[in-house]
Amino acid sequence: MKVAFIGTGNMGAPMARNLADAGHEVTGFDTQAPMPDGVLVAASATDAVKDAEVAVTMLPNGEILRAVVAEILPAMAPGAVLLDCSTVDVDSARAVAREAAAQGRRFLDAPVSGGVGGADAGTLTFMVGGAEDALATARPLLEVMGARIVHCGEAGAGQAAKICNNMILGATMVATCEAFALADRLGLDRQAMFDVVSTSSGQSWSMNTYCPAPGVGPTSPADNDYRPGFAAELMLKDLGLAAQAAEAVGATTPMGAAALAEYRTFVEQEDGKGRDFSAMLPRFAGKPGDR
């Protein structure tokens, strides 16, 4: 399949590389990041999408997505699929879907879960919003880049699923780190804490799979000095999107709001930027006067 890939940063580069390794003809463009091996370099985003059956975008936010889409849609072939894997606000996803339909192109919002490790291994989960026929066209590519594809509904539903998932994840990670810090103060061994909680009612992905305590449970960024698998500033972004969505529809999300406040302080006022989102543990584990 002829594929365009716009945005080859930390997530996009391994995704594009996996498509090229699988035999697809991938042409990429990024304003700063280099192209991975096997991906042809385009002079511009519009050049990349010409003749592409599917154009994949992996971009930082909704504003940039809207600007890029306004540029590339007229250059895309009629009936081509725009597959957006960015994490953006629901309104931006739906606005882009409407614009794509008006110009005779098909659109899918397909944000991902799994981080850089999942992108590299081709084991991402895709949460997809959009029409079945567009998904059928894009599915062979999604199956290369990921291990699970969930069709969540119409355009925007993929983004809705992503922000709801990450609101749970952010709040759960804060609670997990708080609990480890409390266990430390109570003199409870961290391994014993993990052995109990990971097999009891407190278990979660944050505990069982991505444990924030170094040397405990499966290998995680905590075992690599909290170098990011999923950066704290990205969690802050996603919690902000959840808060924005909640306000728009009148939903009450106090735990999501509390997690947002903690990550905002961690990233903007402390040393959280550039660290994994699980680095909340050393933050809470410091002495009482440290915070």
Is 129 in the same domain as 13? Answer: yes
112: DSSP letter: E
Amino acid at 96: V
- Tell me the per-residue pLDDT of 91-113, one tens digit each, with 9 for 90 and over: 999 999 999 999 999 999 999 99
Say yes or no: 172 and 240 in one domain: yes
pLDDT for 291 beyond 60: no
Which of 154, 171, 187 is the endpoint of a domain? 154
Same domain, 125 and 178: no
Q: Give, rounded to a whole angstrom, the gap between the first and last alpha carbons of the chain.
A: 53
Out of 2, 162, 237, 287, pick the active-site residue. 162
pLDDT at 237: 96
* 273 is annotated as an active-site residue: no
Q: What's the rounded Cα separation, in Å, for the pair 59 and 8?
A: 9
User: What does the pLDDT look like over 159-178, one tens digit per residue?
Assistant: 999 999 999 999 999 999 99
In the chain, the percentage of residues whose pLDDT exceeds 70 is: 98
Instruction: Provide CB contacts within 8 A for 204, sequence distance 6+.
Output: 172, 176
Domain contains 290? no
- Is 291 within a domain? no
Last residue within a domain, chosen from 154, 186, 205: 154
* Mean pLDDT, residues 146-157 taken together: 97
pLDDT score recorded for residue 115: 86
pTM: 0.91
* pLDDT one-digit tens code per residue, 223-256: 999 999 899 999 999 999 999 999 999 999 999 9
- 31 has a pLDDT exceeding 60: yes
Same domain, 171 and 140: no
Residue numbers of the domain that contains 214: 160-285
Indicate if 15 and 149 belong to the same structural domain.
Answer: yes
Residue 46 lies in a domain: yes
Residues 45, 169: one domain? no
The answer to whether residue 49 is domain-embedded is yes
Please check whether residues 50 and 74 belong to one and the same domain: yes
Number of domains in the chain: 2
Residues 122 and 65 both lie in one domain: yes
Residue 37 lies in a domain: yes
- Give the residues across from 6 on adjacent strands: 29, 57
Residues 176 and 224 in one domain: yes
Is 177:222 a contact under the CB 8 Å cutoff? no
CATH number for 197: 1.10.1040.10
Domain boundary among 154, 183, 199: 154
Q: Are residues 27 and 75 in the same domain?
A: yes
Distance CA 216, CA 227 (A): 16
**CATH code for the domain of 110:** 3.40.50.720
